[in-house]
Amino acid sequence: MEILQPKSDGIYLDLTFGGGGHSEQILKLSEPNGIVIAFDQDLYAIDCALKLKETYKDRLIAVKENFSKCYVKLLSMGYSLVDGIIMDIGVSSFQLDDAQRGFSFLKDGPLDMRMSKDNPISARIIVNQWSRYELENIIRDYGQERFAKKIAAKIDERRAKATIETTLELANIVKEAIPYSFYKKIHPATKTFQALRIVVNSELDNLKEGLVNAIKLLKPQARLVVISFHSLEDKIVKNIFKDYSQRKIVTILTKKPIVPSLDEIKANSRARSAKLRSIEKTGGTYD
């Protein structure tokens, strides 16, 4: 919020509404007339937004849409430029905590991982129908998992006997493929689940498109704040910010990413891998 500097009469985008924490802070700090347009593709998040709307009325506008489509969507709504944007990338806590969403390797639930139920591709389809080599590539490239080949082989072996249906089934298969000596601070299935989630939801492609469209929507001197939780996401943010900075379209406000303090990590362990980067628009509109 210190970077975003919400003000009354400003129009702000929360492109990843989630549980609404960022939107609510912006609404409070931009009283009495600031407006937040909140995007999320998850119906649960939209329900949360509608509940928050009971308090903030017309100052909060909820849009069920992937943030990658923000530019075209805002133009269709009659908005062309905004005073600030926040993007908090990745899976939401409520998605992790609900076993039925299939994101967590700690709770048994269906292999799903879709952020939007409109998505025809689920983790179950990828795990059971994609080739062993595709699985290996996914787990290696998007999970940065050194045991990708062994994990893919173990999945292939197990699914030949019966369809892999649940999160705990998959987590146990992954555990079997990784030597115990490599169990470190994170659960052995962490990287595999992360890789599948990224592919199911086209997260990296959406991030690239969303960043470009978000920068288009910024007024001169307006700011974009991005929080990422994965090194591949952070690399995309860093490179796009660098490219637009070299083109004199934006100024980078965070030469190095801002990371959580030890106290914050103690209070919220899920913040441990967060990196925040920010830019300020220097020019006007552009193609």
Q: What percent of the chain has pLDDT over 90?
A: 80
Question: Which of 33-37, 75-79, 105-109, 139-143 has the least mean pLDDT?
Answer: 105-109
**Which of 275, 286, 162 lies closest to 219, judged by CA?**
286
DSSP 218: E
Radius of gyration of the chain (CA): 20
pLDDT at 287 over 60: no
What value does the mean pLDDT of the chain take? 92
Query: Rounded distance, CA 184 to CA 281, Å?
Result: 42
Contact 230, 273 (CB under 8 A): yes
**Which of 250, 260, 248 lies closest to 280, judged by CA?**
250
pLDDT in tens, 205-238: 999 999 999 999 999 999 999 999 888 999 999 9
pLDDT at 102 over 90: no
pTM of the model: 0.89
pLDDT at 91 over 80: no
Q: What is the set of domains in the chain, with CATH numbers?
A: 11-94+203-281 (3.40.50.150), 120-200 (1.10.150.170)
With bands split at pLDDT 50, 70 and 90, how would you rate the model's confidence at 103? confident
Contact 212, 247 (CB under 8 A): no
Neighbouring CB atoms inside 10 A of 100's CB total 10
What was the pLDDT predicted at 31? 96
Give the contacts of 86 (CB within 8 A, at least 6 positions apart): 4, 12, 13, 14, 15, 16, 22, 26, 224, 225, 226, 227
With bands split at pLDDT 50, 70 and 90, how would you rate the model's confidence at 284? low
With bands split at pLDDT 50, 70 and 90, how would you rate the model's confidence at 43? confident
Question: Which of 29-43, 98-112, 147-161 has the least mean pLDDT?
Answer: 98-112
- Binding-site residue numbers are 20-22, 40, 67, 88, 95
- Binding-site residue numbers for S-adenosyl-L-methionine are 20-22, 40, 67, 88, 95
What was the pLDDT predicted at 60? 97
Tokens of 4: 């975003």
pLDDT at 96 over 90: no
Amino acid at 159: R
**Which of 74, 64, 29 lies closest to 44, judged by CA?**
64
